[in-house]
Chains A and B, each alone.
Chain A
Amino acid sequence: MTGTLAAIGAGLAVIGAGIGIGNIGSKAMEAIARQPEVAGEIRSNMIITAALIEGAALIAIILSIFVK
């Protein structure tokens, strides 16, 4: 039973991170389309923000795998 609950938890965490990273990606693409000359800067900021969200999601997934 705990295994199933952990799997649901991991799935929920991934939904949240997916929405968040999707938003970041779409906004970054829009920004690059508006101002292609700062594409490099936007890209590195996009990766940092995505990495921060991913960190929160990964903590949730790790917890759901290892906490019994």
Chain B
Amino acid sequence: MPNFVAILKKRNKRIIRMKKFMVPFICLFVIMASTSIAEGAETQTGESENATHNHDECSCHHEEKYDPGASAFHHISDANAFHLFGDYYLPLPCLLYAPAKGFTFLMSNDFDMHHHGSGTKAIDGYVMVHGSIMRVNQAGFPMEGEVEVTCYTEKTSADGKVSFQVLYKDECYKLDKKTSYDAGIMGGGVTSFYDFSITKAVFTMLLAFLVLFFLFRKAANSYVLRKGQAPKGVQAVIEPLFEFIRNEVAIPFLGSKYEKYLPYLMSVFFFILGLNLIGQLPFFPGSGNVTGNLSVTLVLAVIAALVTNFGGNKAYWQHIFNMPGVPLPIKFILTPVELLGLFIKPMTLMLRLFANITAGHIVIIIFVSLIFIFGEAGESLSGSILGGVMAVPLTLFMMAIELLVAFVQAFVFCILTASYIGAAIEEHHEHH
């Protein structure tokens, strides 16, 4: 018994010692974050002065005011460059296709990126603007080989549309929008080129695939190696999650046929959960916002719709097109509603996951932006420190909520898919 007390006392001491370390550590973190950001903003304004040219229409005058909304959208959107730290970027392969030119293959670092992921080189008419590849769409620009470009600028036309321009030899050239690998939500659109690159999101998905593959292989192996023994390590993490989805989701909704759909439900659950958790990391291997990308959730929702509708039995289709036990006039209203439901169900699946993850990330970025807002974009050091003191606990709180959301959304996607499949394969008895 006294042994336990001694252990407890020792642990308490350690906790107190940790607390003593934590306070100065957090203070140091806040001050360092605020000052480094203040410095960064200073160098940025200095550069923009150098880059300003005396052209009436075209100049690279940076907006000095910090815009938290634009910053948030920049951070949650997909990119062709993976930011590591400072001016260093992980080179990602880019495969670009323009109908007029054919395929172009290059690495993202060929653009020689500096601040904010903007490249200083144009290769075959492609440029890197804020981490996204865009293509020059104006005659006169050299569309072959490498050329040095000065900078990029945003131009708002009379009807309020924003387009990017590149400055090359004191002349501005219009840029096409980036390709819509985020379904056009983050400012992509119809362009003159196609982007088949390994982007940040694709890289993160491959990473999640590898991590899940090795985790599950380890868990599967330990069922053979440690047969008859209690689960341990990775196995002990995976098994409760697996059993939870099987017992709480698959069996209640799918009944006796659950084994047929179990692999699909598990893949969806662990894929979304893995990507949500990787997206929570604010630095290198994470930070790819994949489940908050509309194209990814669209594909997940389409797969769910296909599985539901191809698995649907006769009774399911009868209940959509010709509801039994309902008078004929009502059927004219009911059938269109049921048909709409076929598309609304996957659409809400898509939007729910996308909106939850995106909203969480935006809120975290806005909280971090407090440092910039109070620091007046690098001009006031005390303001940045005040902002930092506010931002750190708020961000920590939001990240804890996000951790919960990561699990809940993976579970909700899974349980709703299971309920749609369950409704489609349900055996109907004569109860009308």
On whether the beta carbons of A58 and B415 are closer than 8 Å, the reply is: no
Q: How far is the CB of A38 from chain B (nearest CB, A)?
A: 11
Contact string, A40-68, partner B, CB cutoff 8 A, digits 1/0? 11001001100110111011011000100
On whether the beta carbons of B416 and A48 are closer than 8 Å, the reply is: yes
Give Cα A9 to B178, complex, Å: 29
Closest residue to A63 on the B side, CB-wise? B351
Closest residue to A58 on the B side, CB-wise? B355
On whether the beta carbons of A58 and B352 are closer than 8 Å, the reply is: yes
Please classify how large the interface on chain A is, using the bins under 10, 10 to 19, 20 to 34, 35 or more: 10 to 19
On whether the beta carbons of B185 and A66 are closer than 8 Å, the reply is: yes
User: Which A residues are in CB contact (< 8 Å) with B416?
Assistant: 48, 51
- Given known A51-B412, A51-B416, A52-B348, contact A61–B355 (CB-CB < 8 A): yes
Give Cα A45 to B205, complex, Å: 31
User: Which B residues are in CB contact (< 8 Å) with A62?
Assistant: 351, 354-355
Q: How far is the CB of A48 from chain B (nearest CB, A)?
A: 6
Q: How far is the CB of B224 from chain A (nearest CB, A)?
A: 32
User: Which A residues are in CB contact (< 8 Å) with B356?
Assistant: 58
Contact string, B347-387, partner A, CB cutoff 8 A, digits 1/0? 01001101110010000000000000000000000000000
Contact string, B157-179, partner A, CB cutoff 8 A, digits 1/0? 00000000000000000000000
Contact string, A9-41, partner B, CB cutoff 8 A, digits 1/0? 000000000000000000000000000000011
Query: Cβ of B252 < 8 Å from any Cβ of A?
Result: yes
Closest residue to B356 on the A side, CB-wise? A58
Give Cα A41 to B419, complex, Å: 13
Give Cα A56 to B352, complex, Å: 9
Contact string, B326-360, partner A, CB cutoff 8 A, digits 1/0? 00000000000000000000001001101110010
Q: Which residues of A contact B (CB under 8 A)?
A: 40-41, 44, 47-48, 51-52, 54-56, 58-59, 61-62, 66
Interchain Cβ contacts under 8 Å between A and B, 19 examples: A44-B252, A44-B415, A47-B408, A47-B415, A48-B412, A48-B415, A48-B416, A51-B412, A51-B415, A51-B416, A52-B348, A54-B352, A56-B348, A58-B355, A58-B356, A61-B359, A62-B351, A62-B355, A66-B185
Q: Which residues of B contact A (CB under 8 A)?
A: 185, 248-249, 252, 348, 351-352, 354-356, 359, 408, 411-412, 415-416, 419
